[in-house]
Amino acid sequence: MKPDLAVTVRTANWERDQHVLRSIREAVFVHEQKVPAELEWDGLDPDCAHVIAYADSDKAVATGRLLPDGHIGRIAVLKSWRRRGVGSRVLQALIEIARAKGMANCALNAQTHALSFYERYGFIAEGEEFDEAGIPHQHMVLKR
């Protein structure tokens, strides 16, 4: 793993930052992973807490969101920034936001290739594997 260099994660505001959040998610989910745009843009973003990871203080390289019910999702790291600890920083920031909001548990639907990543942070797989947007997923929960 390459060092994460000068990466900072900050809370984002959907209304103010949606152009940045959308550009990262479009690149990762819609273009790279071929998720249909109508599935990616589910209308839930205005009600979510969002974070953006910046490299070298000004280049947005990753994002993620926390739904009001404690579900973490839409963690997207630009391809050239993967395996540098950026996704970990985004996940940790979202978990911290959930805890600050008093949420007892967090949940997410992990792409199955990323199960071990989430397990490192205490997430436990529950239920059967399922398909979401043509990609195998597994529901996972993090309990306090």
The confidence score (pLDDT) of residue 6 equals: 83
In DSSP notation, 82-143 reads TTTTHHHHHHHHHHHHHHHTT-SEEEEEEEGGGHHHHHTTT-EEEEEEEEETTEEEEEEEEE
The confidence score (pLDDT) of residue 1 equals: 46
The residues facing 140 across adjacent strands are 108, 125
Rounded to an integer, the average pLDDT of 127-134 is: 92
pLDDT at 3 over 70: no
pLDDT at 5 over 70: no
What residue type is assigned to position 37 of the chain? A
> pLDDT (tens digit, 9 = 90+) per residue, 33-86?
999 999 999 999 999 999 999 998 789 999 999 999 999 999 999 999 999 999
Q: How many DSSP H helices and E strands does the chain contain?
A: 4, 7
Backbone angles phi, psi at 30, to 5 degrees: -75, -50
Backbone angles phi, psi at 107, to 5 degrees: -140, 160
The confidence score (pLDDT) of residue 77 equals: 96
> pLDDT (tens digit, 9 = 90+) per residue, 23-34?
999 999 999 999
pLDDT at 4 over 50: no
Q: Which domains are seen in the chain, by residue range?
A: 7-103 (3.40.630.30)
